[in-house]
A = this chain, B = another copy of it.
Amino acid sequence: MPSNKLKNDTLIRALLRQPTEYTPVWIMRQAGRYLPEYNATRKRAGSFLKLAKSPDLATEVTLQPLARFPLDAAILFSDILTVPDAMGLGLYFVEGEGPKFERPLRDEWEVRNLFVPDPHEHLRYVIDAVSQIRRALDGRVPLIGFSGSPYTLACYMVEGGASADFRLIKTMLYARPDLLHHILSVNAQAVTAYLNAQIEAGAQAVMLFDTWGGSLSDAAYREFSLSYMQQVVSGLITEHDGQRIPRIVFTKGGGAWLEDIAAIGADAVGLDWTVNIGAARGRIGHVAALQGNADPSVLFGSSERIQHEVAAVLASYGHGPGHVFNLGHGISQHTDPERLGVLIDAVHDLSRPYH
Contact: B166 with A297, CB < 8 Å? yes
A300 and B253 in contact (CB under 8 A), knowing A216-B274, A274-B221?
no
A283 to chain B, nearest CB (A): 11
What B residues does A302 contact at CB under 8 A?
Answer: 174-175
Contact: A218 with B276, CB < 8 Å? yes
In residues 158-191 of chain A, which contact B (Cβ within 8 Å)? Answer: 165-167, 170-171, 173-175
A341 within 8 A of B: no
A332 within 8 A of B: yes
A274-B328 Cα distance, complex, nearest whole Å: 19
Contact: B219 with A167, CB < 8 Å? no
A297 and B253 in contact (CB under 8 A), knowing A174-B305, A175-B305, A275-B218?
no
Contact: A165 with B274, CB < 8 Å? no
Contact: A174 with B301, CB < 8 Å? yes
Contact: B170 with A297, CB < 8 Å? yes
Total number of A residues with any Cβ neighbor in B under 8 Å? 36
What B residues does A166 contact at CB under 8 A?
Answer: 297
Is chain A's binding surface mostly helix, strand, loop or mixed?
A: helix
**Nearest-neighbor residue (CB-CB) of A328 within chain B:** B217
Partner of A217, one of B219, B274, B300: B274
A234-B101 Cα distance, complex, nearest whole Å: 50
Partner of A274, one of B175, B256, B301, B309: B256
- Point out which of A167, A174, A255, A309 has the most chain B C-beta atoms below 10 A from its C-beta: A174
A302 to chain B, nearest CB (A): 6
Contact: B167 with A297, CB < 8 Å? yes
Contact: B255 with A332, CB < 8 Å? no
A53-B332 Cα distance, complex, nearest whole Å: 39
A294-B166 Cα distance, complex, nearest whole Å: 16
A40 within 8 A of B: no
Show 18 residue pairs from A and B whose CB-CB distance is below 8 angstroms, ordered by the A residue: A165-B332, A166-B297, A167-B300, A167-B332, A167-B334, A170-B300, A171-B301, A174-B297, A174-B298, A174-B309, A175-B301, A216-B295, A217-B274, A218-B273, A219-B312, A255-B255, A255-B256, A256-B276
Chain A residues with CB under 8 Å of chain B are 165-167, 170-171, 173-175, 214-221, 253, 255-256, 273-276, 294-295, 297-298, 300-302, 305, 309, 312, 328, 332, 334
Sorted nearest first, the 4 A-B pairs with minimum C-beta distance are: A174-B301, A170-B297, A171-B300, A218-B276
